[in-house]
Structure 1
Amino acid sequence: MNLYERIVNKEEKISLVGLGYVGMPIAVAFAKKADVIGFDIHKEKVNLYKNGIDPTKEVGNEVIKETTIDFTYEEEKLREARFHIVAVPTPVKEDRTPDLTPVKAASKTLGRNLSKGSIVVFESTVYPGVTEDICVPILEQESGLKCGVDFKVGYSPERINPGDKEHRLESIVKVVSGMDTETLNAIAKVYELVVDAGVHKAESIQVAEAAKVIENAQRDINIAFMNELSIIFNKMDIDTKAVLEAAGTKWNFLKFFPGLVGGHCIGVDPYYLTYKAEQMGYYSQIILSGRKINDDMGKYVAENTVKKMIKANKQINGAKVVIFGVTFKEDCPDVRNTKVVDVVNELEEYGVEVKVVDPVADKEDLWNEYKINTCKMEDVNNIDAIIFAVSHKEFSTLNLSELKELYNSDSNMRGLQEVAATTEVANNTEDNYVLMDIKGLFNKEEAINKGYDYWRL
Structure 2
Amino acid sequence: MELYEKLLEKKEKLSLIGLGYVGMPIAIAFAKKVDVIGFDVNKEKIELYKSGIDPTKEVGDEAVKATSVRFTADETELQKARFHIVAVPTPVKTDHTPDLTPIEGASVILGRNLSRGSVVVFESTVYPGVTEEVCIPILERESGMNCGVDFKIGYSPERINPGDKVHRLETIKKIVSGMDNETLDTIARVYELVVEAGVHRAESIKVAEAAKVIENSQRDINIAFMNELSIIFNKMNIDTQAVLRAAATKWNFLSFYPGLVGGHCIGVDPYYLTYKAEMFGYHSQIILSGRRINDDMGKYVAENCVKKLIDANKSVKGAKVVILGFTFKENCPDTRNTKIIDIVEELLEYGITPLIADPEADANEAEKLYGIKFIDVESIKDMDAVILAVAHEAFKKYGEEDFNKFYGKGDKVLLDIKGILNRQKYENAGYSYWRL
Post-superposition offset of 1:347: 0.4
Aligned to 1:232: 232
Inter-partner Cα distance in structure 2 for 1:176 and 1:101: 24
Inter-partner Cα distance in structure 2 for 1:30 and 1:269: 27
Once the two structures are superposed, what CA deviation does each residue of 1:118-175 show, in whole Å capped at 9, x if it has no partner? 0000000000000000000000000001000000000000000000000000000000
Aligned to 2:414: 435
SS class of match (2:317): coil
Aligned to 1:171: 171
Aligned to 2:369: 369
Inter-partner Cα distance in structure 2 for 1:326 and 1:109: 33
Aligned to 2:60: 60
Aligned to 2:434: 455
Aligned to 1:389: 389
Q: Which amino acid aligns with 2:142?
A: E
Inter-partner Cα distance in structure 2 for 1:441 and 1:326: 16
Pairing of 1:220-369 with structure 2 (within 5 A): 220-369=220-369
With normalisation by structure 2, the TM-score equals: 1.00
Aligned to 1:378: 378
Post-superposition offset of 1:295: 0.2
Aligned to 2:400: 400
Inter-partner Cα distance in structure 1 for 2:340 and 2:358: 12
Q: Which amino acid aligns with 2:81?
A: A
Post-superposition offset of 1:208: 0.1
Post-superposition offset of 1:368: 1.0
Q: Which amino acid aligns with 1:228?
A: E
Is 1:444 the counterpart of 2:423 in the alignment? Answer: yes
Aligned to 2:19: 19
Q: Which amino acid aligns with 2:179?
A: M
Pairing of 1:126-205 with structure 2 (within 5 A): 126-205=126-205
Post-superposition offset of 1:402: 2.6
Q: Which amino acid aligns with 1:196?
A: E
SS class of match (1:386): strand
% identical aligned pairs: 69
Kept after mapping to 1: 8 A contact 2:306/2:316 = yes
Once the two structures are superposed, what CA deviation does each residue of 1:241-294 show, in whole Å capped at 9, x if it has no partner? 000000000000000000000000000000000000001100000000000000
Inter-partner Cα distance in structure 1 for 2:248 and 2:335: 31
Moved over 3 A (4+): none
Post-superposition offset of 1:401: 2.3
Inter-partner Cα distance in structure 2 for 1:149 and 1:84: 17
Q: Which amino acid aligns with 1:235?
A: K
Post-superposition offset of 1:400: 1.4
Kept after mapping to 1: 8 A contact 2:344/2:353 = no
Gaps of 5+ in 1: 413-431
Once the two structures are superposed, what CA deviation does each residue of 1:2-55 show, in whole Å capped at 9, x if it has no partner? 000000000000000000000000000000000000000000000000000000
Post-superposition offset of 1:323: 0.4
Q: Which amino acid aligns with 1:223?
A: I
Whose radius of gyration is greater, 1 or 2?
Answer: 1
Aligned to 2:50: 50
Inter-partner Cα distance in structure 2 for 1:124 and 1:368: 24
Kept after mapping to 1: 8 A contact 2:33/2:193 = yes
Post-superposition offset of 1:180: 0.4
Kept after mapping to 1: 8 A contact 2:416/2:435 = yes
- The number of equivalent residue pairs is 436
Inter-partner Cα distance in structure 2 for 1:324 and 1:3: 50
Inter-partner Cα distance in structure 1 for 2:395 and 2:26: 30
Inter-partner Cα distance in structure 2 for 1:402 and 1:264: 33
Post-superposition offset of 1:397: 1.6
SS class of match (1:37): strand
Inter-partner Cα distance in structure 1 for 2:151 and 2:47: 31
Once the two structures are superposed, what CA deviation does each residue of 1:303-342 show, in whole Å capped at 9, x if it has no partner? 0000000111111111110000110100000111110110
Post-superposition offset of 1:365: 1.1
Aligned to 1:215: 215
Between stretches 395-404 and 69-78, larger displacement belongs to 395-404
SS class of match (1:353): coil
Inter-partner Cα distance in structure 1 for 2:396 and 2:63: 27
SS class of match (1:406): coil
Q: Which amino acid aligns with 2:297?
A: M
Give me the CA root mean square deviation. 0.5
Inter-partner Cα distance in structure 1 for 2:2 and 2:353: 62
Aligned to 2:115: 115
